[in-house]
Structure 1
Amino acid sequence: MTEYGRGPGSEPWHPQDPLYGDGGWEGQQAYAGHQAAYGGQSQQQYPQQPQQQYGGEWVQGPQPGYDGQQYPYYGDQGHPQYDPQYQGQYPQHPQQPGHPQQPGHHQGGWDATGTHGQVPYAADPGDPYGQQPVAYGAEQPDLYGTEDAYPPPEPPGRRRPEAEPDPEAPADDEEEHAFFAGGGDDDEDGEEHELAGRRERRAGKGRKPVKSKKRRTGCACMVVVLVFGGGLGGVGYYGYKFYQNRFAPAPDYAGDGTGEAVTVEIPKGAGGWDIGRRLKEAGVVKSADAFVHAQGTTPGGDSIQAGAYLLKKEMSAASAVRMMLDPKSQNNVMVRPGERNVAVYQDIDKKLEISAGSTQKVAQKEYRELGMPAWVRSNPEMKDPLEGFLFPGTYPAAKGMKPDAILKQMVAQAKERYAAYGLDAKAKSLGLHDAFELITVASLVQAEGKTHEDFRKMAEVVYNRLKPTNTETNQLLQFDSTYNYVKGTSNIHISEKEINSNQSPYNTYTHKGLPPGPIGNPGEDAIKAALNPTHDGWIYFVATDGTTNTEFAKTYEEFQQLKDKFNANSGN
């Protein structure tokens, strides 16, 4: 490849050279549209420019280009020099008639096509022929249409000599991979060596062989083995766990457990998985899966109720299910519909194995801290402020638990259920003052009614007797249940003398209206009956058989007939 520039035997520079004013690639590109090839004649000739000659010889003085700029010449030391006579002057090409100024050559601006005026490359101080195009007749390669057409040739001043191959350098396919050669981010020496090699190759000095550190190859291979080995081990472990979870039997103990007993509380609504998890945490069963399986294969296993269960540690899942189905293992307190608080307190004392009366003392002292609804009345005449708010149900109660914790569960259940009924709004529609009175009515219905069919009629009796227009009983309820509540009894044979002599506010034979508060804990049926009474005009009732058969009457005469029937059945 011939060097671009002046070659041997080249002619002096001529101002009519098509590359006039630009010795670089940019100049050639600017005239590429006007020339067929280098050395060819352009389609439009430019006027011949005046030549400057000093002493009959061509010199390297400043030459004005089409853009009006002067070109430097170079002195003996290769430094650019300017002729003083051209300092500050920008001679223009004379405009020839019939030859308008070519586009793209006006001074320092953009032409109509948006092309900037060409600026020549700065001359290389080491090149005495910088910024001068080759003269006519010089050998110049035609790069268009050849493999060397792109990238374009650089100006002579920017070229570097081509690097000669180093015979000692190994072939590329023989180079050892950096990973097995011990290369890495922490190999600073190797990095510096590689960077130095790259700089040498760019400078044309070839490449020296890299001395790999063979001792690191073993470490790298070991890392690969450990990584792949660890991955295979993880896959194997999880595969084993998958097989165990899918096909292998769940972990389980054998036998009926050890001699160590433990109490497990099962909340309401807990399913098999939740029960199994709680048993596992207590050390009863080995896995929740085993319990779920045993529960599903044991007859009646799905009937396990909420409550506290006294179980043994390390039982087989099947043994745990059977024991939980046995009522003897259940450590619960059951509040029955209509049951009075005093009976509930006694049951809690027994289950917790504490002294009698302990729970009742806690209720009397801490009832305000047990979560009672805000609408509960604070009446000093009330026998028990918690009466009617220990909602019927089954509650865990095992040794080691505190009485207040059990009472809180009962009160919370009552509060939740009562809120769901919207008692306050319903109470006013029934002629009552508030929800507290409605719970009191429900407790009376629960105490006096014998069967579910009696409840709605009994509720109507209460409302009819409370009416100011009641002339049959003059707003006296006259319920034996309220007197029995005061006395702590359940006697149905009470003399009129005994009743009339008692002046307790709970004695509805002597005091009009409702008692100071509920006389027991009403159940769901009694509450619903109090919210939806009959409207048949019932105002009297008598348990004619003394136990379960309750009959109702609308007039006093009918009532007397029912009373005679009762006396006949009871032997009075």
Structure 2
Amino acid sequence: MELRYESNPDPGRWRHRRKEGSGRTVVAVVMVLLLVGVLGGGAWYGYQRFSGMFLAADYDGPGTGEVVVEVKKGDSASAIAETLHKAGVVKSPEAFVSAAKNNTDSKDIQVGSYKVRKEMKASAALLMLLDLKNKAGNRVTIPEGWTHMQVFEALSKASGIPVADFDKAAEDPQALGVPAVWFKRNDGKKVDKKNIEGFLYPATYEIPEKATAEDILKPIIKNFNAEMDKLKFVETVNSKLKSQNISPYEALVAASIAQVEALLDEDMGPVARVLYNRAYNGDFPCGCLQLDSTVNYWLRLTGAGAKSSDKLRTDELHNPDNPYRYNVPGMAIGPISNPGEVALKGAMDPPKSNFYFFVTIDDKGTTAYGVTNDDHEDNKKIACKNGIPICG
């Protein structure tokens, strides 16, 4: 390609000049080389001077010491980068932003305070923010099957907030975020709308500094809602258990009982089916659950403490003041624990069976099932032989 200049309207003419013009050509070449040298030196100087503007400055090592930084709600990668830079964690905000762009997991950084190190490589700082083990402050783990009383004691210990404050905040579960759909039954029994049992989803939660009881309980309820949405619990119950006219709340009650009664994951569903067979089929003699676990729940509520099956007295099993008593007809009036994912899945879509009895028969947690009371008595003999404390 030939270039046209204003001073040379015919770009082809210079190639046919006479030799006497060659001296000027050499001079021009020398001038060009000198110019390139000057420009090259300037470019190198400019690179040295301004490279920090184009390449993000970053530390090389894993860092030293410890510093606590806070990721706030709504923080972007840039906002987090500024926080880290001001705290002396990363060498430049740009380095962290670049690391975040190169790691798709960066979107999973959670709100909270984190323990990180000073002067660390940006990509390493990002990994520390993604690891929940580095979260600062108190955390509480709610295991499957805990009652709200156990949960509140743990939350109180971690936060310093009195149990009474949690009890007070829990009196209005809907204000904490429990949807109204969870306070409906199809069996004619009234739902206690002040009962938070069953809604404290088992997981690990961070306890924010200077939080109130409400501040701590709301995220737990929010997580319950999210997990139930993920499981499609309401939709599944309304579909799979429609023939027995079981509401989501009644299924939640069943899940809470299965969580306590079944020791192995594989038995959560079968045990829930036994509960439905007893409470809703209409051909079980009393139409009741006849469970020690519901009786023990009441004993815990009243401060008496739970007992093993062989220690429960007849007056405790059949106390007319106990709404969870042994022979009360139908499904229990409310949850007796806070069930986890496996129990919830088992209760929302249990395998079909004609079993009306179940009992743990060994120390491995094996559950045996029966159709008739004779089946059940035979299974109890096996349990007693194996040393399971059900024989009075």
Please indicate the TM-score interval, normalised by the length of the shorter structure: 0.5 to 0.7
d(CA) in 1 for partners of 2:273 and 2:242?
Answer: 14
* 2:165 corresponds to 1:350: no
Query: Hey, what does 1:249 align to over in structure 2?
Result: 58
* 2:284 corresponds to 1:467: no
When the two chains are superposed, the root-mean-square deviation of aligned CA atoms in Å is 4.3
CA shift for structure 1 position 362? 2.0
Q: In structure 2, do the counterparts of structure 1 residues 423 and 338 end up closer, same or farther at CA, with 3 Å as the change threshold?
A: farther
Query: Match for 1:554 among 371, 380, 386?
Result: 371
* 2:84 corresponds to 1:280: yes
Q: In structure 2, do the counterparts of structure 1 residues 461 and 554 end up closer, same or farther at CA, with 3 Å as the change threshold?
A: same
Query: Hey, what does 1:529 align to over in structure 2?
Result: 346
The DSSP-based 3-state class of the residue aligned with 1:351 is helix
d(CA) in 2 for partners of 1:532 and 1:353?
Answer: 40
d(CA) in 1 for partners of 2:78 and 2:369?
Answer: 49
Query: Hey, what does 2:267 align to over in structure 1?
Result: 454
Query: Hey, what does 2:291 align to over in structure 1?
Result: 479
Note the alpha carbon deviations across 1:315-336, whole angstroms, 9 max, x for none: 7465896796757956222222
Larger-gyration structure (1/2): 1
Structure with more helix by fraction: 2
d(CA) in 1 for partners of 2:197 and 2:205?
Answer: 17
Q: In structure 2, do the counterparts of structure 1 residues 455 and 265 end up closer, same or farther at CA, with 3 Å as the change threshold?
A: farther
The DSSP-based 3-state class of the residue aligned with 1:311 is strand
**Maintained 8 Å contact 2:69/2:114:** yes
Q: In structure 2, do the counterparts of structure 1 residues 552 and 380 end up closer, same or farther at CA, with 3 Å as the change threshold?
A: closer
Give the counterpart letter for 2:157 in structure 1.
Answer: K
Query: Hey, what does 2:178 align to over in structure 1?
Result: 372
Note the alpha carbon deviations across 1:524-563, whole angstroms, 9 max, x for none: 1111111221223221111112562221112211110111
Q: In structure 2, do the counterparts of structure 1 residues 307 and 360 end up closer, same or farther at CA, with 3 Å as the change threshold?
A: farther
The DSSP-based 3-state class of the residue aligned with 1:357 is helix
Q: In structure 2, do the counterparts of structure 1 residues 338 and 238 end up closer, same or farther at CA, with 3 Å as the change threshold?
A: farther
**Maintained 8 Å contact 1:455/1:525:** yes
Give the counterpart letter for 1:502 in structure 2.
Answer: N
Query: Hey, what does 1:491 align to over in structure 2?
Result: 307
Query: Hey, what does 1:333 align to over in structure 2?
Result: 140
- Higher RCO (C-alpha 8 Å, min separation 6): 2
Q: In structure 2, do the counterparts of structure 1 residues 442 and 504 end up closer, same or farther at CA, with 3 Å as the change threshold?
A: farther
Q: In structure 2, do the counterparts of structure 1 residues 438 and 567 end up closer, same or farther at CA, with 3 Å as the change threshold?
A: same
d(CA) in 2 for partners of 1:292 and 1:463?
Answer: 54
The DSSP-based 3-state class of the residue aligned with 1:376 is helix
Q: In structure 2, do the counterparts of structure 1 residues 334 and 265 end up closer, same or farther at CA, with 3 Å as the change threshold?
A: farther
**Maintained 8 Å contact 1:307/1:330:** no
CA shift for structure 1 position 250? 5.1
d(CA) in 2 for partners of 1:282 and 1:479?
Answer: 59
Query: Hey, what does 1:400 align to over in structure 2?
Result: 210
CA shift for structure 1 position 377? 2.3
The DSSP-based 3-state class of the residue aligned with 1:256 is strand
Identity across matched positions, percent: 23
d(CA) in 2 for partners of 1:312 and 1:389?
Answer: 34
Q: In structure 2, do the counterparts of structure 1 residues 265 and 491 end up closer, same or farther at CA, with 3 Å as the change threshold?
A: farther
**Maintained 8 Å contact 1:443/1:518:** yes
d(CA) in 1 for partners of 2:372 and 2:274?
Answer: 12
Q: In structure 2, do the counterparts of structure 1 residues 523 and 467 end up closer, same or farther at CA, with 3 Å as the change threshold?
A: same
CA shift for structure 1 position 477? 0.6
Query: Match for 2:328 among 505, 511, 516?
Result: 511
Give the counterpart letter for 2:55 in structure 1.
Answer: Q
TM-score by length of 2: 0.67
Note the alpha carbon deviations across 1:233-261, whole angstroms, 9 max, x for none: xx98996345322xx42599952136xx5
Q: In structure 2, do the counterparts of structure 1 residues 328 and 371 end up closer, same or farther at CA, with 3 Å as the change threshold?
A: closer
* 2:220 corresponds to 1:414: no
d(CA) in 2 for partners of 1:278 and 1:503?
Answer: 64
**Maintained 8 Å contact 1:276/1:289:** no
d(CA) in 2 for partners of 1:316 and 1:554?
Answer: 65
**Maintained 8 Å contact 2:71/2:112:** yes
d(CA) in 1 for partners of 2:195 and 2:126?
Answer: 40
**Maintained 8 Å contact 2:89/2:125:** no
Aligned counterparts, 1:39-50, within 5 A: none
How many residues align? The count is 325
Query: Hey, what does 1:240 align to over in structure 2?
Result: 51
Aligned counterparts, 1:14-25, within 5 A: none
**Maintained 8 Å contact 1:308/1:395:** no
TM-score by length of 1: 0.48
Query: Match for 1:568 among 361, 385, 388?
Result: 385
d(CA) in 1 for partners of 2:372 and 2:78?
Answer: 57
Query: Match for 1:386 among 196, 204, 208?
Result: 196
The DSSP-based 3-state class of the residue aligned with 2:326 is coil
Note the alpha carbon deviations across 1:118-163, whole angstroms, 9 max, x for none: xxxxxxxxxxxxxxxxxxxxxxxxxxxxxxxxxxxxxxxxxxxxxx
The DSSP-based 3-state class of the residue aligned with 2:182 is coil
Give the gaps of 5 or more residues in structure 2.
1-42
**Maintained 8 Å contact 2:241/2:349:** no
